[in-house]
Chain A
Amino acid sequence: MTLHTRIDTPHVPIDTPANGALTIANLSKDFRIGREALPVLDRIDLDIRAGEFVSIVGPSGCGKSTLVRLIAGLDTDYAGEIRLDGKRIAGTSLDRGLIFQDHRLFPWLTLEENVGLALLNTDIPKPQRARIVAEHIALVNLTGFEQAYPHQLSGGMAQRAAIARALVTEPKLLLLDEPLGALDALTRVHVQRELQRIWLTQRSTMVMVTHDVEEAVFLGDRVIVMDAKPGRIRRIVDIDLPHPRDRSSPILHRLRDEILAELTGPQVDSQAPENLVHLPVREVRA
């Protein structure tokens, strides 16, 4: 019940999010395979406002997961600049959270212990930690499952637990690397809705990589469309719709189809253009 009041009165007014502005300038990244350097990201420039929700879509091999790992600080070998609130990123930090496609909860800890362990290196006093952990478990609607081990949770529950663990340190920037990719369609819709609710509550900056274009436009203030080999930003689409959004909105559907066409367009063989013909049909049905 407290959840509802929290939505009405977010910690921070919507117009003035605390901080969490991300600046990416001239970012390039190579992978070395043998003696050859394979470019994965090529001169990426991107400014993400504090409190913004940005979705990144693109074909596989476009380096979107690499980009997220670089921002998280798991990989520090890159050329160019990545700055969070002006500070260059040179390693992991509690300022930046990351949610993976696999939930990565430690199987040997209960849900409560998993979330609590994230606070190990914070300066939150020990007596307050239990309360904060309970609050975040409630935030993802998992109250009652505190003592469950990860293998006892369903896929959707485990992923929500991973979200609670990533949020408990209150990172300025939350990175999501295909967080719902492993979930079935129905669960995915549920967790998308929760993600949107949590984002409206917390107002931290969020950057989400996804291969689901519908998910990208439903959640994102902007959608970054990327090209593969080497990874470049192809287009940035503004989604100028207020949150929370209506999934059946015709504007969202049109944007989705546009982006899908953009992604599938040049890769379609000139001899087999049928792929594109079906797209308007979907729009009519919507």
Chain B
Amino acid sequence: MARLNTPAARILLGLVVPVLLLIWWQAQSAQGGARALAFVPLQEVGATLAAQIVSGFLLNDVLSTLSRALTGLLLGGLAGTALGVAMAMWRPLDRVVGPLYHAVRQVPLLGWLPLIGLWVGNGDATKLLVVSLAAFYPTVLNSYEGVAAVERRYVEVGSLFGFSPAQRFSHVLLPAALPLILTGFTQALAFAWIATIGTEILLGAPAGLGATMGVAQAQQRMDVILVAILAAALLGFSINHLFARLRRHLLRWQPVLA
């Protein structure tokens, strides 16, 4: 089993199912007729991909989607963490804001879209707001839990060394809550990514992977849709991977779980 754990082996194993799917896909497309429309031959997809790379169309889409998702993640994530931490540290705020927050987050984001569209319009601001909200919910929840669960014994140590409230916050509460805060950001990342592409499809945009998918669907361009899906999948996968590494670095003080 040890051999299956080398990086090369893991990449190869991870490729087995995708390659089988591609072979199946190609076989379907070879059936001709209506099938060839739904299952575009892979060489066509490849040609479209190459053309989009050369023209810079794909890069433009990727950058638009990426900046939308990351801006939303940052805005929503930071606001969410701030609110969660504040609620955990200050009971009255929890009492006043908590019930509203827990009620509002039960409504799926798509449910808010008509209302937000009415208020803010269908432009970039709406998309950014929805993406930020997607990142906001999980970061509130996790940072609240993180700070609320900080062990009293560590707070007592700070008290013995005469920590001020600000020192207690930065030297005890925040680092102790960091694992859960980062868990919140991991979830926020996934939600923000979904929300970005979702709002791009629904509301359209000058550029963006989701916007391209929406247009291509209307034009029945399966090859274009596939290129966009491929890009979204690879990009999402890479961001998650990078974030997991950042998380491991920030939490290097934790014992490695066997």
- Please give the residue numbers on chain A whose beta carbons come within 8 Å of chain B beta carbons, in ascending order: 72, 74, 92-94, 96-98, 100, 102, 104, 106-110, 117-118, 120-121, 149-151, 169
| Chain B nearest Cβ from A194, distance in angstroms | 21
Report the nearest A residue to B251, measured CB to CB: A108
Give the residue of A74, A98, A104, A151 whose beta carbon is less than 8 angstroms from that of B154. A104
Give the complex CA separation of A282 and B38 in angstroms: 89
Whether A149 lies near B253 (C-beta < 8 A) is yes
Q: In the complex, what residues of B have CB within 8 A of residue A94's CB?
A: 161-162
A120 touching B253 in the complex, CB below 8 Å, given contacts A100-B153, A104-B153, A108-B178 = no
A166 to chain B: closest residue by CB: B160
Q: Does B125 contact A (CB under 8 A)?
A: no
Of the listed stretches B85-93, B129-137, B169-177, chain A binds B169-177
Residues in A neighbouring B164, C-beta threshold 8 A? 121
B156 touching A108 by the CB < 8 A rule?
no
Q: A107-B253, A109-B253 are in contact. Are A74 and B160 (CB under 8 A)?
A: yes
Most buried by A among B154, B176, B253: B253
B255 within 8 A of A: yes
A118 to B171, CA, bound (A): 11
Prevailing SS type, chain A contact patch: loop
Complex Cα distance A94/B153, Å?
17
Inter-chain contact B178/A118, CB cutoff 8 Å? no
* Chain B residue with Cβ nearest A110: B253
Q: Which residues of chain A are within 8 angstroms of B161 by Cβ–Cβ distance?
A: 94, 117-118, 120-121, 169
Query: Could you give, for residues 62-103 of chain B, a 1 whenever the CB lies within 8 Å of some chain A CB and a 0 otherwise?
Result: 000000000000000000000000000000000000000000
Is B167 close to A, CB under 8 A?
yes
Pairwise interchain contact A108-B153, C-beta atoms closer than 8 A: no
Q: Does B254 contact A (CB under 8 A)?
A: yes
The reply on B9 being an interface residue by CB < 8 A is no
- B157 to chain A minimum Cβ distance, whole angstroms, is 5
Is the CB–CB distance between B167 and A106 below 8 Å?
no
In addition to A92-B160, A106-B157, A121-B167, 18 A-B residue pairs with Cβ atoms within 8 Å of each other are A72-B160, A74-B156, A92-B159, A94-B162, A102-B153, A104-B153, A104-B154, A104-B157, A106-B154, A106-B172, A108-B253, A109-B253, A120-B167, A121-B164, A149-B252, A150-B253, A151-B253, A169-B161
